Structure 1
Amino acid sequence: MSNDHQEDIKQFLSLMENVDERMKGTFQNMHHGYPTETLVRFLKARDWNVQKAHKMLIDCLQWRIQNEIDNILAKPIIPTDLYRAVRDSQLVGLSGYSKEGLPVIAIGVGLSTYDKASVNYYVQSHIQMNEYRDRVVSPMATEKYGRHISTCLKVLDMTGLKLSALNQLKLLTTISTIDDLNYPEKTQTYYIVNAPYIFSACWKAVKPLLQERTKRKIQVLQGCGRDELLKIMDYSSLPHFCRKEGSGSLHHSSNGTIDNCFSLDHTYHQQLYNYIKQQAKHMETSLPIKQGSVHVEFPEPDPEDTEIAETIESEFHRLAEQNGRHLTAKGSSTTLE
């Protein structure tokens, strides 16, 4: 790191000494013993502009306080059947670790429907997975691999992506904005796998809008990406949809054990859900755990995110019109995927 950046960090640390005690408390809960590394993430997100990074962090801390994010891991989604419905329609899971010890987060973009619960439950679930990653998963990896681990890899499965995905664009933009503003620079690389034509067309339109820093993080792999991913992780850590061509997001292994890291029955989700229920018991010793979603204030999307969402929407409409003309010409009833 350059001397200029060392000065930026020093200046940022100085500014943080002046925040009130409540903000210092939530910052401590957020940095998990690594305050400098946390400041560096916010500096990177704002291209090393100290004033902008400081404002970003202050806004993040205020968001955490106002929405009681420090306590969100003590608020389970109940009953279990409702949580299972969320898991079945919001396909996210931890499949393992890279050879360097980074958590590998698998996301079933194409087959997630987000139609089994209210938006608030999906946002609550996403933030809980973020917090569990930062408070439990990353610290365990740090201890196991003997070096500070605060980032992850994400493998995005586009299997089943259809034009109807446009219906989830608003929710996905909300979740993306929450991550961008409050969990910046947490993902080292995004790997896109099983990409159909519709993704390729959108990617071509969206790519020029992305900042260079973001573009460098995204790798579109051929097919299921197995061979490329095996260079950075063992087979056991490969998401199930990367293990063979055409495996798809919803398949289980054939040996009778659950191998789908999206499923509530997977070890990761069982541990996460049990952890949340245990935290709830500690906090609500004399009161029953209440049913109901946590209402988190949704931040205003970044203008860049808005432009990207509008471009995706425009591209989807163009593809739909193109498909409509194709179907009329062919007299066919096939669906563009």
Structure 2
Amino acid sequence: MPEGVTDPNYRPLPGRLGNLTVQQQHTLEKFKKELQDEGHFVPERMDDATLLRFLRARKFDLAASKTMILAAEQWRKEFGVDDVVENFDFTEKEIVDKYYPQYYHKMDKEGRPIYIERLGKLDIKELYKATDIDRQLKRLVLEYEKFLHERLPATSRAVGHPVETSCTILDLGGVSLTNFYRVKDYVFKASSIGQDRYPECMGKFYIINAPWAFSGVWSLIKPWLDEVTVSKIEILGGSYKDKLLAQIPAENLPAEFGGKCTCAGGCSLSDAGPWNEDAAASPAPAQPEA
């Protein structure tokens, strides 16, 4: 059992530390050495687990993975990620929550942080009275950074093994195609940041309350997605409760989705989870050695 891992049932998935083929191990080592030799290696954010995210995203094609990670590094400079992490304050969070709820809340049965987005609640007119696309994207990037550096280490400690992905619930209940069209620029930019700059963060992805017309949209989108990504997405109509509860403990699932959680002040503003508990002060479980 790797040091720091207390879950006796933990078995890393293929392509992760502790479960690499000989060729994958060789590619990882070469990837790291080339980055080091060329002066691109950043120790604080290029550990083996992170390098493997980029390798998996490009099916262990070394040249393509290097192009991807160098592009991500250049984007970090241009976007000003370090400044966002240190100085950005999304002061309009409570107002935005009324018109476009997006939040992390506790974890699923496998220890993944749960991310919830309620697109059907979107009120574009009121939303853009309170914020703008630039500030929304800065908030998104700040949350990705917290996800990697605070939420995942905390959930890893809580369950006793490395956790690398999220469990997402996208609620389309009441969604307006008109409103979606008006917010599409943000959605597309946000999706690009997720795919290109923070790859391999998706674990489970549930699309709930999907309107009947969504099946037609999905049939057009699906062929353009990687088969691994498609396998993680489940599209559900209004009968989603049993599926969610099979993946998420009832006490962790907000009551509006069929769970039992009713955080004081509302789940969407609570940021409830082990990342906000005192236990998070202890070291995270070590990743298995490469």
Quote the residue 1:151 is aligned against.
165
TM-score by length of 1: 0.68
User: 1:128-143 counterparts in 2 under 5 A?
Assistant: 128-143=142-157
Give structure 1 stretches of 5+ with no counterpart.
245-251, 273-337
- How far apart are the structure 1 equivalents of 2:247 and 2:192? 28
Judge conservation of contact 2:105–2:271 (CA < 8 Å) in 1: no
CA distance in 1, matches of 2:99, 2:138: 14
TM-score for the superposition, normalised by structure 2? 0.78
Residues 170 and 208 of structure 2 are in contact (CA less than 8 Å); yes or no, is this contact kept in structure 1? yes
Task: Report the RMSD for the aligned CA atoms in angstroms.
Answer: 2.4
Aligned to 2:266: 259
Of 84, 89, 106, 1:72 maps to 84
- Residues 79-98 of structure 1: CA distance to partner in whole angstroms, max 9, x if unpaired? x4x33233333321112111
> 1:1-337 to 2 correspondence within 5 Å?
1-20=20-39, 23-24=40-41, 27-31=42-46, 35-77=47-89, 80=91, 82-112=92-122, 113=124, 114-115=127-128, 116-164=130-178, 165-243=180-258, 257-261=264-268, 263=269, 266-268=270-272
Whole-angstrom CA distance in 1 between matches of 2:255 and 2:74: 38
Q: Identify unmatched segments of 5+ residues in structure 2.
A: 1-19, 277-290
Per-residue deviation, 1:268: 4.2
Q: Distance in 1 between matches of 2:26 and 2:212?
A: 47
What is the rounded CA distance, in whole Å, between the counterparts of 2:45 and 2:83 in structure 1? Answer: 12
Distance 1:15 1:241 in 2: 49
Separation of aligned partners in 2, 1:175 and 1:212: 21
User: Using CA pairs below 8 Å that are at least 6 residues apart, which structure has the higher relative contact order?
Assistant: 2
Q: Distance between the aligned counterparts of 1:217 and 1:223, measured in 2? A: 19
| Per-residue deviation, residues 47-83 of structure 1 (Å, max 9, x unmatched) | 21100001100111122133331332222336x4x33
Greater C-alpha Rg = 1
State the 1:13 CA deviation. Answer: 1.4
For the 8 Å contact 2:88–2:138, the answer to whether it is kept is no
Distance 1:71 1:19, change over 3 A: farther
Q: Can you list the C-alpha shifts for 1:230-288, whole angstroms capped at 9, x where unaligned?
A: 112211222444217xxxxxxx95xx933332x3xx2449x99xxxxxxxxxxxxxxxx
Amino acid at match of 1:258: G
**Secondary structure at the residue paired with 2:169?**
strand
Distance 1:225 1:258 in 2: 25
Partner of 1:305: none
Larger deviation, residues 53-62 vs 86-95:
86-95
User: What is the one-letter code of the residue matched to 2:107?
Assistant: Y
Distance 1:73 1:44 in 2: 26
Judged with a 3 Å threshold, the aligned counterparts in structure 2 of structure 1 residues 59 and 232 are, in CA distance, closer, same or farther, namely: same
Partner of 1:331: none
**Percent of paired sites with the same residue:** 22
SS in 2 for 1:223: coil
| Cα distance between partner residues in 1 of 2:186 and 2:134 | 10
Name the aligned partner's letter for residue 219 of structure 2.
Answer: K
For residues 99 and 19 of structure 1, the distance between their equivalents in structure 2, rounded to whole angstroms, comes to 41
Q: How many residues align?
A: 250
Distance in structure 2 (CA, Å) of the matches to 1:268 and 1:63: 31
Change (3 A) 1:29 1:111: farther
Aligned partner letter, 1:84: E
SS of aligned partner of 1:188:
strand
Change (3 A) 1:98 1:83: closer
Q: Does the 8 Å contact 1:224/1:241 carry over to 2?
A: no
